[in-house]
Amino acid sequence: MMFASKKIAHSLLIASVLSNFAHAVSFDGQYIQPNLTNTAVEWWWGSAVGASQSPGTPGPVLQFLFYQGYSILADFNHSSLPEYYITINGFFSNGNNFSLTVPATSGNISEGNNNSVTGTWGTVGAFQISSDLKTMAVTFNAPDAPYRISGSMNFTSNRANHYGCNVTDSPYFDVVKPVKTLNDAEQVLFNQLGWAVAIPGGTVNVDVRINGTRLQFTGNGYHDQNWMPLALNEFISSWYFGFAEDTSPPTMLCCKINALSTGRRPRISALFALPARWLVQKARLRLPAGR
Ligand SMILES: *[C@@H]1O[C@H](CO)[C@@H](O)[C@H](O)[C@H]1NC(C)=O
Ligand SMILES: *[C@@H]1O[C@H](CO)[C@@H](O)[C@H](O)[C@H]1NC(C)=O
Ligand SMILES: *[C@@H]1O[C@H](CO)[C@@H](O)[C@H](O)[C@H]1NC(C)=O
Ligand SMILES: *[C@@H]1O[C@H](CO)[C@@H](O)[C@H](O)[C@H]1NC(C)=O
Ligand SMILES: *[C@@H]1O[C@H](CO)[C@@H](O)[C@H](O)[C@H]1NC(C)=O
Ligand SMILES: *[C@@H]1O[C@H](CO)[C@@H](O)[C@H](O)[C@H]1NC(C)=O
Ligand SMILES: *[C@@H]1O[C@H](CO)[C@@H](O)[C@H](O)[C@H]1NC(C)=O
Ligand SMILES: *[C@@H]1O[C@H](CO)[C@@H](O)[C@H](O)[C@H]1NC(C)=O
């Protein structure tokens, strides 16, 4: 724990420098500047969940992450790793899974009128958010081995954008921070882990070819992005989130994030929707306490 705290204290220096950069103009734009000499990370995430095609079998799922930097960093010197990449994983309708990471030569965010954003990951992938945050178009273009993915996804939102904890004024968790002196990890968790939910719910059309198999469906869509000055494993011990589904598309229901801490662990839970049927999809990321 001493070791972790010292590392975090050192990293906080980087973190406070980086917070000067947190000024995206567009809601879904660039909030922090990950690069090879810092530990910042920012990612644009989206998921599509289709209906089950036979009883007892889960429906198809596709999720993508357009990454700048590393959410789990094993070594602060990551200059031998690609800074920009796309990870894509999920399940075909028959239950078989797929998981791939496609490196890119660049990860460029350009902010246009109002809230429009274009992300260009080298030649292998791109996304476009419309100025009214109502649509997102995603394309994958790495058809050759070893990646073998190509195709597109089109999201149409049916909910208003918001930040984490369903607020619209701050992208950070400062609104729920406990009234006490925060330790170093908690300061990053509550003040510098950003969360912008551009598409809390809606529909998505998916048509991609992955390793020779076509995955085509219309499902429930969700898109958000996160950014932070440190890799998750530098300040978080665990992260849970859940989706809820009612008659309309699912939306994020709750999240619970624990900071690395020697004392009391903070807890964030927020309710974003009242579910009729719930937890159709649940993901859980358990991180080592320290490293
Ligand atoms: C990387 O980001 C840091 C801020 O964290 C900045 O000082 C440095 O100039 C950046 N380096 C490059 C190559 O952009
Ligand atoms: C970081 O990694 C690069 C590429 O592997 C290497 O050239 C460099 O010496 C490393 N720097 C440190 C401080 O270890
Ligand atoms: C993915 O499929 C492989 C092969 O069937 C299996 O071993 C693995 O557990 C699956 N992974 C997940 C996350 O379902
Ligand atoms: C990133 O986008 C900006 C604005 O469109 C453009 O000026 C710049 O050349 C692009 N950079 C790269 C590396 O593609
Ligand atoms: C600008 O964005 C807001 C949402 O943030 C939206 O309500 C508005 O319609 C947009 N205006 C245009 C012209 O797209
Ligand atoms: C997404 O929209 C683009 C542009 O209209 C279209 O070419 C593409 O076929 C669409 N993809 C899906 C899966 O609907
Ligand atoms: C791609 O499909 C081939 C068979 O067509 C299979 O041998 C290979 O393991 C698959 N690759 C991945 C990454 O699933
Ligand atoms: C989230 O915010 C929206 C807009 O302010 C509001 O309509 C909705 O009731 C809120 N949901 C919850 C669960 O607080």
User: What pLDDT score does 259 carry?
Assistant: 61
pLDDT tens, position by position, for the chain (291 residues)? 233 344 444 444 444 444 444 456 799 999 999 998 899 999 999 999 998 888 877 889 999 999 999 988 777 677 878 899 999 999 999 889 999 999 999 999 999 989 999 999 999 999 999 999 999 999 999 999 999 999 999 999 998 999 887 788 889 988 778 888 888 888 898 899 999 999 988 999 999 999 999 999 999 999 999 999 998 888 877 776 665 554 454 444 455 666 655 443 333 333 332 222 222 232 333 333 332
Nearest CA, atom 9, ligand 4: 108
Lining residues, ligand 8, CB within 6 Å: 160, 166, 271-273
CA 125 from centre of chain: 16
User: What pLDDT score does 81 carry?
Assistant: 85
User: 184-191 and 2-18 are packed helices; what angle lies between their axes, rounded to 10 degrees?
Assistant: 40
CATH topology of domain 22-236: AttH-like fold (2.40.370)
Question: Which ligand is nearest the CA of 206, by number?
Answer: 6
3-state secondary structure of 247: coil
User: What pLDDT score does 257 carry?
Assistant: 64
Q: Which helix (H) or strand (E) holds 4?
A: helix 2-18
33 lines ligand 1 (CB under 6 A): yes
User: What pLDDT score does 56 carry?
Assistant: 77
Tokens representing residue 262 in the block: 């020697």
- Residue 149 Cα to ligand 2 midpoint, Å, equals 32
Question: Which ligand is nearest the CA of 36, by number?
Answer: 1
* Domain parsing of the chain, residue ranges: 22-236
32 lines ligand 1 (CB under 6 A): no
Note the pTM of the prediction, 2 decimals. 0.83
Q: What is the DSSP string of 17-74?
A: HHGGG---SSTTS--S---TTS--EEEEEEEEEEPPSSTTS---EEEEEEEES-SS-S
Would you say 263 and 48 are in contact if contact means Cβ atoms under 8 Å apart? no
* CA–CA gap between residue 255 and residue 162 (Å, rounded): 15
Lining residues, ligand 2, CB within 6 Å: 77, 79-80
Work out which ligand 8 atom sits closest to the CA atom of 271: 13
Question: Which ligand is nearest the CA of 229, by number?
Answer: 1
Q: What is the DSSP string of 179-242?
A: SS---HHHHHHHHT-EEEEEESSEEEEEEEEETTEEEEEEEEEEEEEEEESS-GGGTEEEEEEE
- Nearest 5°: the CA angle 149, 128, 191 is 105
Neighbours of 252 (CB within 10 A): 22
